[in-house]
Structure 1
C-alpha cells in the first residue's frame, strides 16, 4: 500500500506545480500590476514604477512565481493589500468555518443518501421520493436553493435565521441553528450525486451470488442489506466523498456568500473584488492542495476497504 501511496504522491507533485503556476500567471495576466491598486487612483506612473521595483513586481513572472512558491512553502503567504494583516492569520480565522460547513454537508449527504437507499422497507415510496430529491439537488443551482430556503424557513415561517454565523462560545444551539440552512443548501447536490451512484452500485451488488447465499441461509433482509450489501457497494461513494471534500472547500463560495458566513469562500470573493492578490493566491492554492490531499485520502481508505486495489 505504501508503494501505491508513494506513486500517487509522485504524480501529485507535477500536477500541483502546474496548477499553482496556472493560478499565479492567470492572476498576473487578468488583474495587472498590484502596485497600482496599492497606491490608489491618484498614483503617478513614477510612483507606481518605484513601488513595483521595491516589491519586485517588475521582475519576470517566472521569478515572481518561484519567489511566491518558496515563501509559501515556509508558511509565509504575504500580507493583505487591503487590511495589511498577514494572509495566514486571515485564513486561520476563516478556515474553521469552511471546514465545519464542508464536513457537516458531506456527512449529512452521505448518511441520508446511504440510509434511504439501504432501507429494506417502504422502497416503493422511498425510491421515487429519493430519486426526485436527487434530481432536484443536482439540477437546481446552489444559490437558488439557498434563496428558496431563506424565503420559506426564515421569511415566511420564521423558524431559522437567514444569514450570519455564531461561534461555539455563544451557545451550541444558536451555533447549530445558523448552520442548518447553509448545510442543507450545500449538501443538496452531493446528496443527489451520492444517491444515484450508491443506488446503482447497491442494486448491482444485491444480485451477486454471496448475497443470494446469505438470503438462503435465512438472514433477515435488514442484516443482509447492512452487513453484506452496504460494505461492498459503498466504495464508489467513498471515492466521491474524497473528491467532494476537496471541492467543497472551494464550492462553499456561493453558500458562504449567500448566508454571510465568514469562511474561506467569502474571503476569496472579497479578495477578488478588492484585487487582493496575496489572499487570492493563498486561498486558491489551499483549495488546490485540499483537492489533491482529499483524493489521496480517498485512495487510502479505498485500499483499506478493498485490498485488491493495492495490486493495481
Structure 2
C-alpha cells in the first residue's frame, strides 16, 4: 500500500511539468495571434491614446514574460483572471458553463460504450465473417465522418424531417430528466460516434488477442460455457487496452464539445470558447484551455489508477 501511494504521488508530481508546458504554449499561441482586445473593445473609432490607455489598464503593455508570470501566480491561487468582455471572473464563467458540457460529455461517452463494447465483442466472436466485416466497415465510416457533418445530418433527419427531437438548445436537469435528455441525444450521438468507432476496433483487437491464448482453449476443452469464457475470462483480460482508450476518448470529448456545442447551440464550455476566441478575450481563452488540460490529465490519471483495480498484477508490477 505504501509503495502504491508513492507511485500515486509520483504520478501526480509528473503532471506538473505537463501543465507547465501546456500553459506556456497556450499563452504564446494566444498572444501571437493577430488581433488586439483593446481595439475590439473600443471599436474602430477609438483613438490611439484611448487604445493605449486601455491596454495599460488590462496589462497588455507589459512584457510577455511578466504577463505570463502574473497569470501563473494567479492560477496557483485558483484565480484565472477576469474576462475583458464579461463582468465576472474567468473561474466563475467557466463554472457557470460547465454543467452542460459535463452532461454532454458523460452522455456521449455512455452512447459510445453502449454501442462499442457489444459491437467489438460481437465482431471478435465472428472473426472473418460478413458480420465482422460489417461491424468494421461501420466503425471505419464512423471514424471518417466529421462530427459536425454527422451533427447536421442528425439535426436534419431527426429534428427537421421526423421532428422526434429538438433541433438545438439546452434544458437544465432541474426542468425534468426527459426534457434534459432530449436536447442532448442528438449532440451526444454526433459527439460520441468517433469514440464508439475507436472503442469498437480496440475491443475487437483486444478480444482476439486474448482468444488466441492457450488457457482459453483449455477452458473450452474443459466444457466451460462460451458465454462464461467470453465475459469472465476473455473480456476481463482484454479490458486494460479498452480502458486506456476510454480515458483518452473521454478527454477528447471535452475538446470535441467545442464544435458540437456551437452547432446545437448548447451554452457550455465549447460555445464559451468560440465566443472568447472571436473577441480575443485572452484571460478567458487561457483559462478554458488550461482547465481542459487539467481535466484531460486528471482523467488519464484516474484511468491509470484504475489499472490496479481491474488487474491487481499491474499494481504489483509498479511497486
Q: TM-score range by the shorter chain?
A: over 0.9
**Equivalences for residues 62-101 of structure 1 within 5 A:** 62-101=65-104
RMSD, aligned α-carbons = 2.0
Q: Residues 121, 31 of structure 1: CA spacing in aligned structure 2 closer, same or farther, 3 A cutoff?
A: closer
Cα offset, 1:119, TM superposition: 4.2
Do residues 182 (structure 1) and 187 (structure 2) align?
Answer: yes
Name the CA distance, whole Å, in 2 between partners of 1:192 and 1:291: 20
| Partner residue in 1 for 2:114 | 111
Does structure 2 conserve the Cα–Cα contact (< 8 Å) formed by 1:116 and 1:126? no
Q: Residues 309, 192 of structure 1: CA spacing in aligned structure 2 closer, same or farther, 3 A cutoff?
A: same
Cα offset, 1:155, TM superposition: 1.6
Does structure 2 conserve the Cα–Cα contact (< 8 Å) formed by 1:119 and 1:222? no
Cα offset, 1:32, TM superposition: 4.7
Q: Residues 217, 50 of structure 1: CA spacing in aligned structure 2 closer, same or farther, 3 A cutoff?
A: same
Do residues 150 (structure 1) and 155 (structure 2) align?
Answer: yes
Matched pairs, number: 312
| Partner residue in 1 for 2:287 | 282
Name the CA distance, whole Å, in 1 between partners of 2:124 and 2:234: 15
Name the CA distance, whole Å, in 2 between partners of 1:177 and 1:125: 35
Cα offset, 1:182, TM superposition: 0.7
Name the CA distance, whole Å, in 2 between partners of 1:252 and 1:135: 21
3-state SS in 2 of match to 1:42 = coil
Ranges of 4+ aligned residues in structure 1 off by more than 6 Å: none
Cα offset, 1:264, TM superposition: 0.5
2:231 to 223, 226, 229: 226
1:168 to 156, 168, 173: 173
- Give the unaligned 5+ runs of structure 1: none
Query: What is the CA deviation profile of residues 266-295 of structure 1, one whole-angstrom value per residue up to 9, with x for unaligned ones?
Result: 110111112222211111111111111111
3-state SS in 1 of match to 2:83 = coil
Do residues 263 (structure 1) and 268 (structure 2) align?
Answer: yes
Q: Residues 128, 37 of structure 1: CA spacing in aligned structure 2 closer, same or farther, 3 A cutoff?
A: same
When normalised by structure 2's length, the TM-score is 0.91
| Partner residue in 2 for 1:130 | 135
- Give the unaligned 5+ runs of structure 2: none
Do residues 4 (structure 1) and 7 (structure 2) align?
Answer: yes
Query: What is the CA deviation profile of residues 112-140 of structure 1, one whole-angstrom value per residue up to 9, with x for unaligned ones?
Result: 21122324999456433321221111011
Name the CA distance, whole Å, in 2 between partners of 1:218 and 1:120: 23
| Partner residue in 2 for 1:57 | 60
Does structure 1 conserve the Cα–Cα contact (< 8 Å) formed by 2:37 and 2:279? no
2:259 to 254, 261, 264: 254
Cα offset, 1:77, TM superposition: 2.2
Does structure 2 conserve the Cα–Cα contact (< 8 Å) formed by 1:16 and 1:289? yes
Name the CA distance, whole Å, in 2 between partners of 1:32 and 1:174: 41
Do residues 140 (structure 1) and 170 (structure 2) align?
Answer: no
Does structure 2 conserve the Cα–Cα contact (< 8 Å) formed by 1:272 and 1:280? yes
Name the CA distance, whole Å, in 1 between partners of 2:249 and 2:119: 20
| Partner residue in 2 for 1:22 | 25
Cα offset, 1:173, TM superposition: 1.4
Does structure 1 conserve the Cα–Cα contact (< 8 Å) formed by 2:140 and 2:197? yes
Name the CA distance, whole Å, in 2 between partners of 1:252 and 1:2: 34
Query: What is the CA deviation profile of residues 130-158 of structure 1, one whole-angstrom value per residue up to 9, with x for unaligned ones?
Result: 21221111011111111111111112211
3-state SS in 1 of match to 2:33 = helix
3-state SS in 2 of match to 1:143 = helix
Name the CA distance, whole Å, in 2 between partners of 1:268 and 1:34: 15
When normalised by structure 1's length, the TM-score is 0.93
3-state SS in 2 of match to 1:158 = coil
| Partner residue in 2 for 1:192 | 197
